Structure 1
Amino acid sequence: MTDAALSPSAPLSRADLDLIDGYWRAANFLSVGQIYLLANPLLREPLRKEHVKTRLLGHWGTTPGLNLIYAHMNRAIKARDLNAIYIAGPGHGGPGLVANTYLEGTYSEFYPAIGRDEDGLRKLFRQFSFPGGIPSHVAPETPGSIHEGGELGYSLSHAFGAAFDNPDLLVCCVVGDGEAETGPLAASWHSTKFLNPARDGAVLPILQLNGFKIANPTVLARIPREELDRLFEGYGYRPITVEVTDPEDHDAAHQAFAAALDDALDDIKRIQAEARAGSGDDGAATAERPRWPMIILRSPKGWTGPKTVDGKRTEGSWRSHQVPLSNLHEDPEHLRQLEEWLRSYDPDSLFDARGALRPELAALAPEAERRMGANPHANGGILLRELDLPDFQDYAVEVKQHGRESSEACRVLGGFLRDVMADNEEHANFRVFGPDETASNRLGAVLEATGRTWLADAEPGDDADLAPDGRVMEILSEHTCQGWLEGYLLTGRHGFFSCYEAFIHLVDSMFNQHAKWLKTTRQIPWRRPIASLNYLLTSHVWRQDHNGFSHQDPGFIDHVVNKKADIIRVYLPPDTNTLLSVADHCLRSKHYVNVVVAGKQPALNWLSMDEAITHCTRGIGIWDWASTDTGGEPDLVLACAGDIPTLETLAATAILREAFPELRIRVVNVVDLMRLQPSSEHPHGLSDREFDALFTRDKPVVFAYHGYPWLIHRLTYRRTNHHNIHVRGYKEEGTTTTPFDMVMLNDLDRYHLVIDAIDRVPGLADRGAHLRQQMVDARLRARAHTRETGDDLPEIRDWVWPFD
């Protein structure tokens, strides 16, 4: 113990030091036990190889730092009555968070079979990284967790998402130094420019610098301290550094970290008090953006573990990243070292004869919902309040005749979202997210109800909608938008994310992790359902008149449908009224990922609101007004999914109806893409009988689809008539061109659909030879016109449905 450890300025007394170090040792002991032990959990007898797991899976290196922070957060929560949650960013820190939630009692409350005694410890150890047990990272099964912890980069954006509109919440976010090298994490440091101290909670980032990843050094641990400080000062933080220079001097480490934590929490309290004292009734923050504190903790990787193994440095080295001691069943020396390591924590001083944590140590944990593992914000469905939604039918566009007049679906949707925002302002539980595209995506009406969140500097001439109390979240980082939204949803609120369709791929992996969270938590009884993650993908593949090939990719849908059927939903509303109906449904739903694809350009209105509601309720259906097979079996099924495919399908239908009045055509439109799957594969799927009733058992089907055509084959390959289904869609042909030339490049245009019908309907090839040639010529004429004028032919550009 250094003299400084008990100096008058030190925050902890001798008694406090002993207790907090005991709690930390208990967490470390439980963490090591989870990685290694099957039996003999308290070492009441000499350790033998049969007490040790045969397959050693888990990660030790980051765990002691996580445990130190958790123990000190407990002290602060009790002393200050804080409402706090803990986000563990470092990969595979599961043993530490499981250990701490067990010590505070939360774990046994959620899992009563794992009691707070010796048998409970044995079960706790056995389940970790074991068949039928729990993962080695901070997973949904871990109380207090709000995200899948196996993939790095999302902790800080999740933390800020949790803090938005949570004025009393403190989010302690531990960022691993390996994690800090990821792009999503690097961008999320800027989130302070969007955090309003008057109406939001606070995030305390703690950068855990233990120096190594799996094998390599970490970048931030290998730059000079002054450079690291300047980096975070540049981000807008006030860094407070704690450096463990002597791993054996635990007293000094505890005092230093306690002092740093108190400093940071005092600063956060001051920032919020000043902002809230100076804010108006609208909750607007003071004009000056605060410099929030953050802590940099430099500590050895694998701290308190074996110093050396087989003569090689382990503590403070990359060798402690995972399992420092292996091959225990064959190597008696490693087994001896493991026992020595476990006994170094002195378990007899930590646990009583029954195996329960000693009362004086247990008293260090907060109580009830102040425990970080039991905080309701870490189980957001508990706090979820239904949105107050206006009647979406009030925003309907009038449709006197099918396909005669146009509207901008996303612009109309913007008016609906504006009023959703306004109607829920009192509850502060709804935000709109997007990468600088709200206005571009025609949702600008929402800015009539609120501004764009902005606490960075503003200059004369800036957009008038910038506002510190705004609720439209825009940053040119899809990763950060997704992370904010996930954190917001996971803590019990609602949100809406609009993005250019091609660039939503940037968050493919983030979507994966959130979908896995939803899937897993469905099977955890104590986890409550959260609001759905709602995507609107617009500026889509078929309308990139000036952006061209770089902005053309509809493949996110393919990625989404790989996930479990009870989690994902995909909607392709063909017009304004169907988009309104779908949006209302998505905002009311829970525990899904809803993907909605809709264009933002003017487009024809096909259905009245009553028709749209009925059609969306079915998810798929025959459009009788466009079909000619009433009262009989069709000769041809023309199917479509998506706004542009619907337009081209109906234009092809009109050509065929005029050329072959006797041809029995059935037009089928798909709004809910998952209706195409069998009912055995997806809750929304059609039974085989229902599918056959729509698509027939033996007639040709020409299907115009928004995305890659093979997805339709994948969804329908088990159907009776699959061999007759011919799909047209995007086939990776694109450029800067006109809307109609774009569909021609991919053979999705009306003329090609007519050719497909002629080629596939029995007996039509002979009768339709002249029309087929006319369609080829029409394609050539349309292409030539675009190259000469830069626009589509008027009869194509201005086409409307020609029948009453």
Structure 2
Amino acid sequence: MPTPNTETTRRYRRACDYLSAAMIYLRDNVLLREQLREEHLKPRPLGHWGTCPGINFVYSGLNGLVRRRRQRTLLVTGPGHGAPAIHANLWLEGTHTELDPTMSLTDLIRGFSWPGGFPSHLSPEVPGVIHEGGELGYALATAFGAAFDDPDLLVACIVGDGEAETGPTAGSWHANKFLDPVTCGAVLPVLHLNGAKISSPTVYASMSDEELVAYFHGAGWSPYVVDVADTADPDALLAETFDLAHSEISAIQRRWRCGEGEGRPIWPMVLLRSPKGWGLPTEYGGGTFHAHQVPLDADQLTELEAWLRSYRPEELFHEDGRPHDDLREVLPAEELRLGRVPQANGGQLRQDLPLPELEKFAVEVPEPGRATASATGTTGEWLAELMRATEQRRDFRVMCPDELESNKLDAILEATGRAFSWPLTEYSEHMSRDGRVLEVLSEHLCQGWLQGYLLTGRHGLFPCYEAFASIVDGMVNQYAKFLKMAGEVPWREPVASLNYLLSSEGWRQEHNGYSHQGPGFLNNLLTKKSSVSRIYLPPDANSLLVTMRHCLASTDRINLVVAGKNPGPQWLDLAEAQRHCRAGVGTWEWAGTETDSDADVVLACAGGIPTVETVAAAWLLRRHAPGLRVRVVNVVDLLTLSTPDGHPHGMDSEEFAECFGTDVPVVFAFHGYPSAVHEVLHGRPEPSRFHVHGYLEEGTTTTPFDLLVSNRMSRYDLAADAVRRTPGWSSRGGGIVQELIGKRDELRDYAYREGKDSEEITDWEWSA
């Protein structure tokens, strides 16, 4: 294949720019073989023209780099609203037709932003894509996630100058401190400075080159400036810059991989200045924010035709839409084309994890409540073994906001270190350049890193304080949409699930207060498609082990696991935990007092602390209301409460009745906001008989028992409510209720007086 010259590269870009504009406007006459008429236009032109020419410029330059250097490259596009540009390149490189041989050029152009076609943003239906870019700020973190533990991969990342204003992107510039030149690939950011957001200037484009270079040099980058206005041959300048950057990257990697690296690896980046809507005449808004979306209206038909014809599509495409042969000269070898890089369909590369067996790590539970352990501490030992088992493969990582030890998962640090590639100037522990724990005080970075890591074929875990997981609500919203749509794309292979382990839950705060009490992330997960979301509330250490093993073996899911870190009573041995977790919900007969006849009341629970309080409430009722027939039900898989048509895990009607009866009151102690349980129960008969206790947004720095009482979730509140709600007991049980509430208040007064909970609470143990 001949070496292309810059004229051919310009023709290639001209073809891409034309196709990008045509996708926004045209439904027919896509190559302008006849005069443009109103019926050729889409009734609703949708899209973002302003960023497309810059994306085409970068894509074309990367094609040249890959062609010259044979460097496998993944492109992450932050301005995903520039989707027409990516589609145009995928068409010209043949990737679209490889996956869909029936797709014509008219199909592509008409199908953009068209019902049943491609959406206006990048999405899983688009080859080569692991990042949609709809909600701005996360491209660079995702790019780093893709580069971790893939030493031969270059991840190019286009960051829009509007996106660069976001907090997550600001933090992401420092991800270079966590990139090991030996075991990881490289990230080449291209900050695209085209001057404007939707309707105002961007901060970064308003900075001078000197200011930008100083800013990014301070963040550990070596910036190259490419300003298309300062050269007669922008394509040659970009090619030279990409070659210099790649040589710099290769030199860093070679030096460190030969054992000669020292100091700080300073990676290259590109600062690209190009006009907004480059190629759109200035009289139509080219170079200004007016070019951001759809710059010309349907009533400007003459002007639109003149602009589109300025690209001279008849010189670029055959009658049937095939590009002229010379346009393919700029393309890399087929297996190296950006749309076909296997990392962009990471399920092709994913291997099942070598998950350790659980027996070695399980807590021995001779009788319910007769053992004490930390759930996360126990699971931490198992995760450490998994780290050792994947030491050679390097396809499992933990991303955590500096909370691993706080959440009692520090055993992992005995198997691997905290990644950090820059020299350390102060005392630190468990740090290593090639460590596979990534700790940074940014939940956004952890989420972005993990998404990039999973979507390129690897596995991971995101432990986090429960109250602060909601920081990534927006990101998980977008990722859930990505997984939902990916599941509908035939050529997308399954990827490992995104697993959250939320601990330091609000019911057991130590030196933190109200700000650290917030279980709302769970509610957000409930809004996601049932094909994607799973929510688990294991009640003890063994059930957490079983749950984590299940989650890390699953694919295409978002698994939310909430578990306690402090030592607490253990209820289930390993075999019982496996049966219980497999069912998702079950009756704990040992805790209840029902006989052969039906229960009078059901005490249900979901979550570690609610389980303790529920079992303690059953214990109290044995003593205060011995004639009351109580059934105790524990829920580990919250979505089993759904109807079968509401969620795949939903129990059928018979199973539901076996646990919760059909007409008896249910007093439900729930880990989070009560509204979550009511939402899940929607569609069940007689849902009003469920009386849910949970977090009521009452909190402060106080004792655990006082916090429970403040939210009406203590064992005394649960037991009293069970008496109140049971027909026939509400009147004759008045004295019992008064006695229970009186004792509750007495114990609360003790906490206020002594600054700690009474031994009646702290030393309580279950007994029949």
Q: Common fold, TM-score beyond 0.5?
A: yes
Is 1:444 equivalent to 2:410 in the alignment?
yes
Q: What is the SS of the residue equivalent to 2:464?
A: strand
The amino acid of 1:307's aligned partner reads T
Match of residue 319, structure 2, among 353, 357, 360: 353
Q: Indicate the residue corresponding to 2:275 in structure 1.
A: 300
Cα distance per residue 1:44-79 (max 9 Å; x no partner): 111111111111111100000000110111111111
Q: Indicate the residue corresponding to 1:10 in structure 2.
A: none
Conservation of the 8 A alpha-carbon contact between 2:605 and 2:670: yes
Please show how residues 219-238 of structure 1 align to structure 2 within 5 Å: 219-238=203-222
Q: Indicate the residue corresponding to 1:181 in structure 2.
A: 165
Aligned residues: 767
Cα distance per residue 1:692-717 (max 9 Å; x no partner): 22111110110000000011111113
Instruction: State the Cα distance separating 1:399 from its structure 2 match.
Output: 0.3
The amino acid of 2:15's aligned partner reads A
Q: What is the SS of the residue equivalent to 1:379?
A: helix
Match of residue 309, structure 2, among 343, 347, 372: 343
Q: Indicate the residue corresponding to 2:354 in structure 1.
A: 388
Conservation of the 8 A alpha-carbon contact between 2:77 and 2:131: no
Is 1:322 equivalent to 2:303 in the alignment?
no
Q: Indicate the residue corresponding to 2:156 in structure 1.
A: 172
Structure 1 residues 169, 51: CA separation in 2 closer, same or farther (over 3 Å shift)?
same
Structure 1 residues 15, 484: CA separation in 2 closer, same or farther (over 3 Å shift)?
closer
Q: Indicate the residue corresponding to 1:3 in structure 2.
A: none
Instruction: State the Cα distance separating 1:369 from its structure 2 match.
Output: 2.5
Match of residue 497, structure 1, among 459, 462, 468: 462
Cα distance per residue 1:620-677 (max 9 Å; x no partner): 0101111222422111100000001000000010111122333211100000000000
Conservation of the 8 A alpha-carbon contact between 2:265 and 2:422: no
Conservation of the 8 A alpha-carbon contact between 1:624 and 1:630: no
Q: What is the SS of the residue equivalent to 1:542?
A: helix
Question: Partners of 2:359 and 2:25 in 1: how far apart?
Answer: 60
Q: Indicate the residue corresponding to 1:608 in structure 2.
A: 573
Q: Indicate the residue corresponding to 2:31 in structure 1.
A: 42
TM-score (ref. length: structure 2): 0.98
Instruction: State the Cα distance separating 1:14 from its structure 2 match.
Output: 11
Question: Partners of 1:475 and 1:755 in 2: how far apart?
Answer: 45
Q: Indicate the residue corresponding to 1:695 in structure 2.
A: 660
Question: Partners of 1:453 and 1:667 in 2: how far apart?
Answer: 45
The amino acid of 2:283's aligned partner reads T
Instruction: State the Cα distance separating 1:15 from its structure 2 match.
Output: 5.7
Question: Partners of 1:783 and 1:687 in 2: how far apart?
Answer: 42
Q: Indicate the residue corresponding to 1:584 in structure 2.
A: 549
Percent identical: 50
The amino acid of 1:394's aligned partner reads K
Q: Indicate the residue corresponding to 2:11 in structure 1.
A: 22
Question: Partners of 1:636 and 1:382 in 2: how far apart?
Answer: 51
Conservation of the 8 A alpha-carbon contact between 1:91 and 1:176: no
Please show how residues 279-298 of structure 1 align to structure 2 within 5 Å: 286-298=261-273
The amino acid of 2:263's aligned partner reads E
Conservation of the 8 A alpha-carbon contact between 1:306 and 1:324: no
5+ residue gaps, structure 2, are none
Instruction: State the Cα distance separating 1:688 from its structure 2 match.
Output: 2.2
Is 1:128 equivalent to 2:112 in the alignment?
yes
Q: What is the SS of the residue equivalent to 1:288?
A: coil
Conservation of the 8 A alpha-carbon contact between 2:364 and 2:371: no
Q: Indicate the residue corresponding to 1:433 in structure 2.
A: 399
Please show how residues 460-475 of structure 1 align to structure 2 within 5 Å: 460-463=426-429, 465-475=430-440
Q: What is the SS of the residue equivalent to 1:348?
A: helix
Conservation of the 8 A alpha-carbon contact between 1:106 and 1:374: yes
The amino acid of 1:88's aligned partner reads T
TM-score (ref. length: structure 1): 0.94
Q: Bigger shift: 612-621 or 659-668?
A: 659-668
Q: What is the SS of the residue equivalent to 1:204?
A: strand
Q: Indicate the residue corresponding to 1:107 in structure 2.
A: 96
Conservation of the 8 A alpha-carbon contact between 2:50 and 2:293: yes
Question: Partners of 2:98 and 2:492 in 1: how far apart?
Answer: 13
Match of residue 366, structure 2, among 395, 400, 412: 400
Q: Bigger shift: 631-640 or 453-462?
A: 453-462
Q: What is the SS of the residue equivalent to 2:535?
A: strand
Conservation of the 8 A alpha-carbon contact between 2:4 and 2:329: no
Q: Indicate the residue corresponding to 1:61 in structure 2.
A: 50
5+ residue gaps, structure 1, are 1-12, 115-119, 280-285
Question: Partners of 1:452 and 1:167 in 2: how far apart?
Answer: 19
Conservation of the 8 A alpha-carbon contact between 2:317 and 2:323: yes
Q: Indicate the residue corresponding to 1:193 in structure 2.
A: 177
Is 1:632 equivalent to 2:590 in the alignment?
no
Conservation of the 8 A alpha-carbon contact between 1:695 and 1:721: no
Q: Indicate the residue corresponding to 2:250 in structure 1.
A: 269
Conservation of the 8 A alpha-carbon contact between 1:650 and 1:801: yes
Question: Partners of 2:8 and 2:193 in 1: how far apart?
Answer: 25
Q: What is the SS of the residue equivalent to 2:233?
A: helix
The amino acid of 1:455's aligned partner reads S
Q: Indicate the residue corresponding to 1:373 in structure 2.
A: 339
Structure 1 runs (4+) deviating above 6 angstroms are none
Question: Partners of 2:423 and 2:165 in 1: how far apart?
Answer: 27
Q: Indicate the residue corresponding to 1:117 in structure 2.
A: none
Q: Indicate the residue corresponding to 2:646 in structure 1.
A: 681
Q: What is the SS of the residue equivalent to 2:669?
A: strand
The amino acid of 1:787's aligned partner reads Y
Question: Partners of 1:397 and 1:715 in 2: how far apart?
Answer: 32
Instruction: State the Cα distance separating 1:91 from its structure 2 match.
Output: 4.2
Q: Please, what is the CA RMSD of the aligned residues?
A: 1.3
The amino acid of 2:274's aligned partner reads S
Instruction: State the Cα distance separating 1:153 from its structure 2 match.
Output: 0.5
Q: Indicate the residue corresponding to 1:557 in structure 2.
A: 522
Q: What is the SS of the residue equivalent to 2:548?
A: helix
Conservation of the 8 A alpha-carbon contact between 1:453 and 1:469: yes
Instruction: State the Cα distance separating 1:460 from its structure 2 match.
Output: 4.9
Cα distance per residue 1:291-314 (max 9 Å; x no partner): 1000000000000113213xxxx1
